Amino acid sequence: MICYTLWLAACCLLLLLYSFRLRSCCSHGHGPRSYPVIGCLVAFYENRWRLLDWYTELLAASPTQTIVVDRLGARRTVVTANPANVEHILKSNFGNYPKGKPFTDILGDLLGTGIFNVDGELWYAQRKLVSHEFSARALRELEFAVLEDEARERLVPALALAAARGDAVDMQDLLRRFSFDVICRVSLGVDPGCLDPALPAAPRLAAAFDAAAGIIARRGAAPVAAVWKAKRALDVGSERRLREEIAVIHEAVMDLIHIRKKERALLPPSVNGGGRRSDLLSRMIECGYPDEAIRDMVISFIMAGRDTTSSALTWFFWLLTRHRDVEREVLREISAAAGGAGQGQHHHSHAAGGQGKMRVLHAALCETMRLYPPVAWDSKHAAAGDVLPDGTRVERGDRVTYFQYGMGRMESIWGADAAEFSLRRWLSLQAPAAEVSPFKYPVFQAGPRTCLGREMAFVQMKFVASTVLRRFELAPVEEGRVPVFLPLMTAHMAGGLNVTVRSRSPAAAASAVGAAAGN
């Protein structure tokens, strides 16, 4: 009887403490309605199919654009769409907000100690080394050459065939396969041929990346991490499949490293840089990095670039079908740029144009990613207690999330027309995107972890957009459909983007340009 009484008293005390904690959380973060023990589990469950919009609504209603989410089975989470908080997390107090063990555990089996999955000194050392490789002229020139070849030999013929046959094509799938070919050729120096019509199915390496990314995304979305960890320990179900797919990826990359080292050993000492490969893997071998470090780095690079540009381009093409006036403006600019290039070199002109040219296209891409960011949210884990600039209390171990999807929809950041697709907010700037604070537009992160591949991503997106729009007109199969935004590791368009393709004749293109000029 005494034991039972003590146990009951302890339970009551715990409930009181938990209730006090919840009241404290809500008073600082204006989070969803919470209850003792279960927290906001009821509201979370009710909104499980619309979490992005639910969080956005809660953030918009919060005076600080910050909420605290506390629910049974998950660690306390601070979610913010406040630019001052984002700057504090990503820059001012950067050292207190590493990715943290909960995050690195999720990705560790695949990414190992690659730059996207480490913190502290190990991250800093890799960042310094890799930033040098990314700035190398040889790597940039390789990207230009690969983009031109992949578009000329595969992307354009695939769309032309669909136009000739009157077939519908899934642009999201086409762009994903294009991006995977490009990223593998630039990072590994091998061509998986995902867009090769002679291959009836996806190559094994591409299938392994797809499967591994899907399983890891489900790890991150699991309500209780102990479930997938138990499955991994027992080597059952999806975790067994993940181990098998990662083995395929690791084996393929390690084989390439060994082959490339043998090639390098056979080169005579007199061969200068002109006789060597320029892909990232080869450059890292040249620098003497250990095999496993090279493996983890190139896998991280592939994971970061395989779906991000294709996601942005998928939403870009869809938005243009909804805003034909913007499409005409973009086409006018692209046509002018192509006309100004010399015969036979306009492809390279587009690829090498980078950020300084084609302002309308750049604005349209930025606006696309404002509304449909390739990564919907990003989380850090507090190393120590802290107070954010808006007064929200952060406890040691808390998950702290800045919410790109919600930030793009905050009227407090973008004005009353935040929900609209408008290029004015970008074209009014003297230098496109240069004056937009990365802390209110953290699509490429910000601060010390700013994405190293940002410039390369814009080059690829501008090149693909120019290549497709100059030649083809796309029309959605379901004209009135508003696609669902799926926030996986990289955001996808649910059901893909099924379009019919029509070749854009020179006369039609000139007509579109003329219409744009008259508006």
Q: 3-state class of 391 per DSSP?
A: coil
Q: 3-state class of 495 per DSSP?
A: coil
- What distance in Å separates the CA atoms of residue 388 and residue 93, rounded to the nearest whole number? 10
H-type alpha helices, 135-276: 137-150, 156-165, 171-187, 204-221, 225-234, 237-266
- What distance in Å separates the CA atoms of residue 390 and residue 176, rounded to the nearest whole number? 39
∠ Cα 516 314 304 (to 5°) = 130
List b or e across 73-87, with b for residues whose CB sees 16 or more CB atoms inside 10 angstroms.
Answer: ebebbbbbbbbbbbb
Long-range pairs, 140-143, Cβ under 8 A, ≥24: 140/456, 140/459, 141/278, 142/185, 142/186, 142/278, 142/279, 143/182, 143/186, 143/351, 143/456, 143/459, 143/460
- What distance in Å separates the CA atoms of residue 264 and residue 270, rounded to the nearest whole number? 12
CA distances from 119 to 81, 122, 162, 383, 448 (A): 24, 6, 46, 11, 12
Token pair for 351: 């690829």
H-type alpha helices, 47-135: 51-61, 83-87, 101-111, 120-134
Token pair for 428: 């009014």
> Cα dihedral angle (81, 87, 92, 96), rounded to 10 degrees?
40
Strand partners, 480: none
- Whether 328 and 316 have beta carbons less than 8 Å apart is answered as no
Q: Counting every residue, how long is the chain? A: 519
Q: Is 451 annotated as a binding residue?
A: yes
Q: Which residues are annotated as a binding site?
A: 451
Q: Which residues are annotated as a binding site for heme?
A: 451
